[in-house]
Amino acid sequence: MKILIVLTSHDELGDTGRKTGFWLEELAAPYYRFKDAGAELVLASPRGGRPPLDPKSNEPDARTDQTRRFESDTEAMAALESTVRLDSVSAAEFDTVFYPGGHGPLWDLAEDEHSVRLIETTLRAGRPLALVCHAPGALRHVTGEDGNPLVRGRRVTGFTNSEEAAVGLTDVVPFLVEDQLEELGGVFSKVGDWEPYVVRDGLLLTGQNPASSGPAAEALLDLVAEVDGERA
């Protein structure tokens, strides 16, 4: 099994002068779910090279056993140091795709034509795809084969308005994930702030927040196995 993990390259938190990027737990927890399942992993980002880490995701209260494992793993850190450029990726090479969050994707992946094409191509080829936390914002310009927004009529979740308010960034982000998905016609659902929650609709999986990243990765592995079983 070959899995593509797509990370943000954006590091500026609006005009606040603060830094953002990807959220470490949302990479580390899925990374080891996938690795421990025997998957081959490729990390990609719009600019390639070392993607920016949201510094808040590496503060003491945000660290987990998985983030500590990742930071002490020379192979994992080497992969992070040299992500491939997203425009060099062929969806056909991968069994599935996973998008970690962090605030960065709201600025770059949500508007990136290569990301849009990757998501559309993956799903239209009958391969599963998962996005967690802010990463469902990358569905903003993705369309289905009928030309309508991909999320229209689909069950989805993502970082909620109340979670964004809790971190004080409602007026900083370019759009609110919950509002955007609902405006596109998505059937948005959620649980309490910071509780793990994963929603499946066909081949599309979405997770609400950082705590949802590990469960979303496990659900994605199950979905890949299900798709492979149907093809066998």
What is the domain-level CATH number for residue 74?
Answer: 3.40.50.880
Cα distances (angstroms) measured from residue 213 to each of 66, 97, 199, 219, 227: 11, 13, 12, 10, 21
Beta bridge partner(s), residue 199: 206
Q: How much of the chain exceeds pLDDT 90, in percent?
A: 98
Which residues have CB under 8 Å from 119's CB, separation 6+? 97, 129, 138, 139, 142, 150
**What are the structure tokens assigned to 105, written together?**
């994707």
Residue numbers of the domain that contains 84: 2-231
Torsion sign (Cα): 6, 24, 42, 199: negative
Within 8 A by CB and 6+ apart from 58, the residues are 24, 67
Span 46-55, pLDDT tens digits: 999 999 999 9
Spatial separation of the C-alpha atoms in residues 62 and 48, rounded to whole Å: 26
Of residues 128, 131, 122, the one with CA closest to residue 198: 131
**Average pLDDT for residues 107-118, to the nearest whole number?**
98
pLDDT recorded at residue 200: 98
Torsion of CA 148, 191, 109, 87, to 10 degrees: -80
Which pLDDT tens digit goes with each residue over 65-89?
999 999 999 999 999 999 999 999 9
Domains contained in the chain, number: 1
